[in-house]
Structure 1
Amino acid sequence: MRVERGALDGVLLFIPTQHHDDRGFFTRTFDAALAREHGLDPAAFIQDSQSRSRRGVIRALHGRGGQGEAKLVRCARGAVHDVLVDARPESPTFGRQMATVLDDETFAHLYVPRGLLHGYQALTDQADVCYRIDREHDPEEDIAVRYDDPDLAIAWPLPVSVISPRDLAAQSWARVRQRLLAPT
């Protein structure tokens, strides 16, 4: 498994080595020693979740306030266009975004540090996304920014097929940014 740094501060991409033969393939999907080597505490991840989406579905852009939430994200089936927005006011990459494709060919894992907004669009007929999360969910801490916010101008690759009512009601980046930058 190799590790690459993402375009946003603290983001890592873990890319497993696949071993193919006549039966198919084998790959390691998580390595605690490698996680520790790159500054992650493998024991901190307390919850695993999975979602399934159809082509064109966007699930975005979600994050947590308070202490935030770190996660490892991978696509176990199909492919997704994965997007991160840095919502950490103290970060050198605050307000910037990055995108990467996660799929069931490379099985790359995206490490999303606390304080980033995360979303994705399904690129295949079915896309299963798996999350390994380091905090219990607290709905009071949810942060959501509209997927089509003009200030972010995210280039989603496909026409949108479905958006949840929650995501349609999300706030603008300008409003969330103002709240994040307000003195406490």
Structure 2
Amino acid sequence: MKVTITSVPDVLIIEPQVFGDERGFFFESFNQRAFNAAIGTDLSFVQDNHSRSTKGVLRGLHYQVNQPQGKLVRVVRGSIFDVAVDIRGTSSTFGRWVGAELTESNRRQMWVPPGFAHGFLVVSDCAEVLYKATDYYAPDMERCIVWDDPALSIKWPVDIEPILSPKDKNGVRLEAAELFK
């Protein structure tokens, strides 16, 4: 497993070792011991999620207050531009974001720690995204920061007009968001 520290050090890009030949490939997509060693703490995942979206769907920027979720995100079909935004109010990297292309062929995963907002834009015709979560989904705790907040200046792929859910259209700006302390 190769681990790359991003410009926001708590967000990691994880690449598995892939074994392939003319028959296909094999890789270990998750190993609890190796993951805990990579992030430097013992965490457990309690929920796996799977979403399928068409080109242009933008989901996010989502997070949960009082019951924050860390997410380990990967793509099994297609391609996305994945984003994590530090919304920990006392963090030295508060308001900074990290973006990475996750695809079925590069097999990269992004570790989005608790205390971060998360979102992604589908850049292929279709994408299936799997992510592990460190806490359960709590609809009453879910919050959304608007994807195009000028304070964040996220550089989304410019050639795609985002398709948003009503919840994502009504996200708040960072300045009005509930933050983590």
Q: Shorter-chain TM-score: which interval?
A: over 0.9
Alignment-derived partner of residue 59 in structure 1: 59
Q: Distance in 2 between matches of 1:56 and 1:7?
A: 26
8 Å Cα contact 1:9-1:91 kept in structure 2: no
Q: Does structure 1 residue 159 correspond to structure 2 residue 160?
A: yes
Q: What letter is aligned with 1:168? A: K
Q: What letter is aligned with 2:56? A: G
Alignment-derived partner of residue 174 in structure 2: 173
The aligned runs of 1:36-51 (5 Å cut-off) are 36-38=36-38, 39-41=40-42, 44-51=44-51
Q: Distance in 2 between matches of 1:163 and 1:133?
A: 22
Q: Distance in 2 between matches of 1:36 and 1:147?
A: 30
Alignment-derived partner of residue 83 in structure 2: 83
Alignment-derived partner of residue 73 in structure 2: 73
- 1:80 to partner: Cα distance: 0.4
Q: What letter is aligned with 2:168? A: D
Q: Distance in 1 between matches of 2:48 and 2:74?
A: 11
- 1:4 to partner: Cα distance: 1.2
Alignment-derived partner of residue 100 in structure 2: 100
8 Å Cα contact 1:87-1:116 kept in structure 2: yes
Q: Distance in 1 between matches of 2:179 and 2:105?
A: 37
Alignment-derived partner of residue 30 in structure 1: 30
Q: 1:14 to 1:151 in 2, by over 3 A?
A: same
SS of residue paired to 1:180: coil
SS of residue paired to 1:37: helix
SS of residue paired to 2:8: coil
8 Å Cα contact 2:67-2:135 kept in structure 1: no
Alignment-derived partner of residue 133 in structure 2: 133
- 1:36 to partner: Cα distance: 2.3
- 1:10 to partner: Cα distance: 1.3
SS of residue paired to 2:179: helix
Q: What letter is aligned with 1:66? A: N
Superposition CA RMSD, Å: 1.6
Q: What letter is aligned with 1:172? A: R
8 Å Cα contact 1:59-1:119 kept in structure 2: yes
Q: 1:54 to 1:180 in 2, by over 3 A?
A: same
Q: TM-score, normalised by structure 1?
A: 0.91
- 1:98 to partner: Cα distance: 1.1
What are the superposed Cα offsets for residues 114-149 of structure 1, whole Å, 9 maximum, x if unpaired? Answer: 010000100101111101001111112112011122
- 1:40 to partner: Cα distance: 4.1
- 1:67 to partner: Cα distance: 3.8
Q: Distance in 1 between matches of 2:120 and 2:82?
A: 4
- Percent of residue pairs identical: 35
8 Å Cα contact 1:89-1:180 kept in structure 2: yes
Alignment-derived partner of residue 4 in structure 1: 4
5+ unaligned residues in a row in structure 1: which ranges? none
